[in-house]
A and B are shown apart, each in its own frame.
Chain A
């Protein structure tokens, strides 16, 4: 937890040392670890049934329903994506890049008893066959706190790639 700046306070007035934010960050780091280890089944468990996972092309907007995105996954699509990543037919997933990511520069947004929003920086390095690709993004999280930390769930994740409108490599993994 050393990356958290105790003094960091945002306009929302919520400090990153707020216990609710600490729980939120723990969940985000758990997600990052599961994705780097490609444990997609466990990863899927971190999402609420009504959750949305989006990688937009237009990074300046909030409504992704009426635009074309790179990823727009509700529960149904998320389940299919996990199936695709795990069942062994998808040649890009079977032979996917190894990834290492860090998620940091947390900025708390709104906080209520059970709903937190947070934005963060994510730097991911993907390595495959001698080539390193860097995937840099601002990530927005919305997280619903449960009765205890193990029941905290991601309700919304939006990965705003710095080069979303440009050409990125085709990926066999998830951001």
Chain B
């Protein structure tokens, strides 16, 4: 069954054949035709992350983003329903919104002023006489994607026949529930977004969120600049408790800090990190009780896991990592920082500290991200050579087992999560 990649066949193999269990071909990073097919078969077929509910705080709130290469606007209408609309006027195609976020009653195209409501309906056309008997306004609303959410995590799809979101997520919901506990009893809210781009294929980033193997190597420079307790917390390389589960549908979860997988589980023995002494004092001053302070402080680094969703979002420790494919060798990444939506005397000091932690590692000038991006760019460059030589995703095949829940499981430094994502990729790329 396994197809061997050779110099003779590598350029002729069908895209789905370029994934072979323990290996993939470099062509999946470099072939523009494969990228086109991915946009059609994956990004315009499945559920794609578009927003967190806190980004749409009130009726009229909107956010511009993308589903694959399609610019979309995510809106909250007067009744509180969320819509995802293609940002393209139905007249002659102009974008109707160029603001990243905001509040509006609707969108008016700047070209000939067709106006649309928050749910995408075409509301008004100037000088409508020319359309009498020519077209129905009802048929000319902004194109609408299906939009569904799970506990504030909002996804959209072009595919009107896609399975319900919760079915797509499957066992992901269990781990998303764990992720959301870092609000320490409060809902989570977006506290800022960093954006950067790298010259490489989107799947290189997708792999990275489930790549525990690179951590102490690529992030050695970050490790050298944090306190000993934080460095120690992330020394999972040989910790047998630190595992990765294939959750099905291309999704996986990798546990880097096993003792923080479920932040509600706390036997009280773990000391709070000394770096948060100032924060603890500030919260005490504000009259917050010790139990709540402990909860908030234990959640400062987020959850102990990276939950990697196929195809475009990671619920990664303390933030959302959102990827956007631009072209076969260009990808945009958003690092969306999160904090508790708590009363100001709690939210302000906690969020300030979470922002500083986020800035330290993440973003285009963080102590972690630029080194990741350098690694990814190097994969893109290296993978151009000897296309018949496979990219190996075989690490840990010798120690995979089935967890009681049925999840194929291995160590966090293994490539189980990548194999999960590529199995889904292969399935979707096989579809006509």
Contact = CB atoms under 8 A, between A and B. Distances in A.
Contact of B195 (A87, A167, A171): A167
Interface string A94-112: 0100000000000000000
Contacts of A72: 355-356, 359
A133 to B, nearest CB: 10
B224 A165 contact: no
Contact of B337 (A65, A68, A84, A87): A68
B6 to A, nearest CB: 30
Contacts of B221: 84, 87, 89-90, 93
Nearest to B198: A170
Contacts of A5: none
Interface stretch (B7-15, B309-317, B368-376): B368-376
Interface of A: 55, 57, 65-72, 77, 80-81, 83-84, 87, 89-93, 95, 129, 131, 165-172, 174
Interface string B201-231: 0000000000000000010111011000000
Interface residues of B, number: 39
9 contacts: A68-B193, A69-B355, A77-B360, A84-B221, A84-B224, A87-B224, A131-B199, A165-B195, A167-B332
B198 A168 contact: no
Given A70-B365, A89-B221, A90-B221, A169 B198 contact: yes
Contacts of A172: 370, 374
B364 interface: yes
A55 B225 CA distance: 20
Contacts of A166: 195
Interface in B170-195: 191-195
A67 B224 contact: no
A93 B369 CA distance: 12
Nearest to A67: B192
A92 B355 contact: no
Interface-central residue, B220, B332, B358, by most chain A CB under 10 Å:
B220
Given A89-B221, A169-B197, A170-B364, A66 B352 contact: yes
A67 B351 CA distance: 9
Nearest to B360: A77
Contact of B370 (A68, A129, A170): A170
Contacts of A174: 365
Contacts of B49: none
Given A55-B365, A131-B199, A67 B355 contact: yes
Nearest to B375: A91
The 8 A-B pairs with the shortest beta carbon distances in the complex, nearest first, are A68-B192, A170-B373, A90-B221, A92-B370, A89-B221, A80-B225, A167-B195, A92-B374
B262 interface: no
B348 A66 contact: yes
A72 B362 CA distance: 12
Nearest to A128: B377
Contacts of B358: 68
A1 B369 CA distance: 38
A77 B275 CA distance: 14
B360 A165 contact: no
A126 to B, nearest CB: 12
A115 to B, nearest CB: 27
Interface string B341-355: 000000010011001
A165 B225 CA distance: 27
B367 A81 contact: yes
A73 to B, nearest CB: 9
Contacts of B381: 129
A90 B370 contact: yes
A69 B193 CA distance: 9
Contact of B351 (A66, A89, A92, A168): A66
B196 interface: yes
Contacts of A67: 192, 355
B305 to A, nearest CB: 22
Nearest to A161: B364
Contacts of A65: 352
B359 A69 contact: yes
Task: Find the residue from B218, B333, B355, B364 having the highest chain A CB count within 10 A.
Answer: B364
Contacts of B191: 68
